[in-house]
Structure 1
Amino acid sequence: MFNEIGIIDQLATAQLERLLPDGLRAPHFHVLNHLTRLGDGRTPVAIARAFQVTKGAMTNTLQRLEARSLIRIEPDPVDGRAKRVFLTDDGRRMRDRAVGRVAGFMADLAPVVSDDDLAVLLPRLMRLRMHLDRARD
């Protein structure tokens, strides 16, 4: 099972990176998408935990996004040692462009994975993900 999930992840990530606009990489898109879905103002440490990567790896990703003006990093108003990450308008537009480009690929999957298939698969995959997420703590 995990072998198949790993292969699917590898193939899907390669396809995603072919579709992403302007040299955006999968980790960058995932951070933009994460901030869009869950909201601005998260700390780099919280984002690193969410992706289960080291703080150093996340710092590198955030620096690349900031250099492209897709995010801004500000001091935490309460804890001066901490930082907070915010999407810029350019970051929101880039994420939306990326989602638009990926939508066609997703539509091409419809003959392979129907809505009925998704109705069965998604709850089971979500249950597995939630179990693995809890097990990491």
Structure 2
Amino acid sequence: MPTPDVPPPPVFEVLTEVGIINQLATAALEACLPDDLIAPHFAVLNHLIRIGDGQTPIEMARALQVPKTSFSNTLAGLEKRGLVEAHPNPKDRRSKTIWITTQGRRIREEIVSALGPVFRDLAQRAAPGTFHSLLPQLRELRGKMDALREE
């Protein structure tokens, strides 16, 4: 256990900053969500846009790092709103695959558009090129952390 006079390692400090950024980003996101949606709903819609349709719920729960039970509730809420659909898994027919609907795509785009002013303000306050230079490093860090999780 570190003592008060020994600073934490840089990896801890970086991950702390990333965690705080995540909290701030989630708060900004929640301010732009329609009343009937919550951040986990948006995370699923965004995941399906980013990674693609046809994943099983367990694959998605693992990717989003959430328990299967709470993920099932999130999916049920999205299905109820007509934002995703479940189809039989063509590989085994016992499980299902999840597909985003046209309405789900539209809602996701509306939310991203609603975040536009926040993004523009943040981009104007940051040094030029900040986000372009950070993105490759953050993707690499995410990849390494994903690899550690899989080991």
TM-score (norm 2): 0.84
Q: Give the paired residue count.
A: 137
Equivalent in 39, 52, 63 of residue 50 of structure 1: 63
What percent of counterpart residues are identical? 47
Structure 2: gaps spanning 5 or more residues: 1-13
Task: Tell me the residue number matched to 1:72.
Answer: 85
Task: Tell me the residue number matched to 2:53.
Answer: 40
Q: CA deviation at 1:72?
A: 0.9
Counterparts of 1:38 and 1:129, CA distance in 2: 15
1:1-137 equivalences in 2 (<5 Å): 1-137=14-150
Q: Secondary structure at the match of 1:109?
A: helix
Which one has more relative contact order, counting CA pairs under 8 Å at least 6 apart? Answer: 1
Structure 1: which 4+ aligned runs deviate by more than 4 Å? none
Shift in alpha-carbon separation, 1:82–1:115, aligned structure 2, 3 A: farther
Q: CA deviation at 1:97?
A: 0.8
Q: CA deviation at 1:116?
A: 1.4
Q: CA deviation at 1:115?
A: 4.1
Q: Secondary structure at the match of 1:40?
A: coil
Q: CA deviation at 1:77?
A: 2.8
Counterparts of 1:60 and 1:3, CA distance in 2: 29
Structure 1: gaps spanning 5 or more residues: none
Q: Secondary structure at the match of 1:85?
A: strand
What one-letter code is carried by the residue in structure 1 that aligns with 2:18? I
Larger radius of gyration: 2
What one-letter code is carried by the residue in structure 2 that aligns with 1:76? N
